[in-house]
Amino acid sequence: MVIVASGSGGCQQKQTTNPVVNQLDKNVGQKMLDIYKQVKTYDHHPVYEVEFSQDACGYEILINDVPLHRYLLPGSANEQRIQINDHLLKTGKQEMTIRLFPPMLSDGSWSPTLVDASAFKIKVIHHQSKDALEDYKQVFEFSTSNQPGTEKFMASGQKFFEFKGFFYAQIPYQLEGWQNSADLRQENQDQLLKEAVTAYNNFRNVLIKKDVNAYGILMYDKEVEIAKAYYWSTPLDSKERWNEMRDAVLEKREILPLKNFKMVLYAGGKVVALQPTDERYKDYLSAIHAQTADEDIQVSFLLHKKAGSNELTPIR
């Protein structure tokens, strides 16, 4: 859900006396600050999360065929938890997909197959947004199995493992999301790739120029849905979110060139992403990323075409 990492960028505020630009800044900012007015409050505010861990394998988690998290680096991950409400569009059956990949070895090379020690487990829990996590309820669980009578992963020696399962989510909101978006599988794929590259480069230029106004305009529809999914219904919620986004745009960082990527379709062909093929960044879900003096930053950018539109715009 996070677009870029937060950072301190107050010293880089745009300085101008142009009244038209200042009015645009005011209008865009106010529109973002007013998002909370579109968020309903309910008797209950369930927050759904995945809790997972892995050993000796890379993995990718998708909810309703939309990527949530990918990890392909060496080592094992301690138990992690990620909120998933923005992947849940309405009450009902939700699909969980787990993909496991051969691990990176300690010498930096890749194992050709999954190994005996490969393992993964995940569960879906939910709790009220204001409640402690100790009060959660579990609605889904999956753990990889071993070969009978051994401690060896059942898919050891295979190049790939995939599991699909389902869980039921009861949520009070409903999001348009990608439900009625265009099926991009039906379009000319070469032309779609050109459109996606153009959209990614336009977004890169917004980040390079630190254009807060253009950023707000581009992300507005997506941010409305995220606010609804996480019940951000107060002026403070919208203010904190907008301040976080502005600071991220204004942070001092280098936006790296768009290169060495592939196009991937998700959500039954309704969502498209460009993803890096470079070994260093192959676990990133987007081919846009930035660097600061201290870290690499993954910049999420999933696109779709709204019903009745031929323009690729951000969806998550």
User: Is the domain of 226 the same as that of 141?
Assistant: no
User: Is the domain of 60 the same as that of 142?
Assistant: yes
Which pLDDT belongs to residue 180? 96
User: Is the domain of 32 the same as that of 69?
Assistant: no
Question: How far is Cα 11 from Cα 192, in angstroms, rounded to an integer?
Answer: 39
User: Is the domain of 66 the same as that of 97?
Assistant: yes
Distances (CA, A) of 106 to 73, 75, 111, 309: 10, 8, 10, 48
Q: Is residue 8 part of a domain?
A: no
pLDDT of 204 strictly over 60: yes
Q: Which domain holds residue 150?
A: 46-169
User: Is the domain of 186 the same as that of 262?
Assistant: yes
User: Is the domain of 140 the same as that of 263?
Assistant: no
pLDDT of 110 strictly over 80: yes
pLDDT of 8 strictly over 60: no
Task: Write the DSSP string, 232-279.
Answer: --SHHHHHHHHHHHHHHHHS--EE----SEEEEEEGGGTEEEEEE-SG
Two tokens, residue 161? 């493992």
Q: Is residue 209 part of a domain?
A: yes
Q: Is 133 exposed, middle or buried, given 0-12, 13-18 or 19+ CB atoms closer than 10 A?
A: exposed
Q: Is residue 2 part of a domain?
A: no
Q: Is residue 184 part of a domain?
A: yes
Which pLDDT belongs to residue 309? 94
User: Helix, strand, or coil here: 194?
Assistant: helix
Q: What is the pTM of this model?
A: 0.88
Q: Is residue 227 part of a domain?
A: yes
Q: Is residue 7 part of a domain?
A: no
Distances (CA, A) of 227 to 28, 81, 94, 239: 17, 20, 20, 12
- Overall domain count for the chain: 2
Question: pLDDT-derived band of residue 307, with 50, 70 and 90 as boundaries?
Answer: very high
Q: Is residue 161 part of a domain?
A: yes
Report the number of secondary-structure helices (H) and strands (E) in the chain: 4, 15
Contacts of 27 (CB under 8 A, 6+ apart): none
Smallest Cα–Cα separation from 311: which of 196, 176, 216, 189?
196
pLDDT of 299 strictly over 90: no
**What's the pLDDT tens digit per position in 274-289?**
999 988 888 899 999 8
User: Is the domain of 183 the same as that of 309?
Assistant: yes
User: Is the domain of 227 the same as that of 183?
Assistant: yes
Residue ending a domain, choose from 146, 169, 192: 169
Furthest C-alpha separation in the chain: 75
Number of Cβ within 10 Å of residue 207's Cβ equals 20
Residue ending a domain, choose from 169, 197, 223: 169
Contacts of 69 (CB under 8 A, 6+ apart): 60, 61, 82
Rg value, the chain, Cα: 21
**What's the pLDDT tens digit per position in 244-257?**
999 999 998 899 99
Which pLDDT belongs to residue 9? 31
Q: Is residue 215 part of a domain?
A: yes
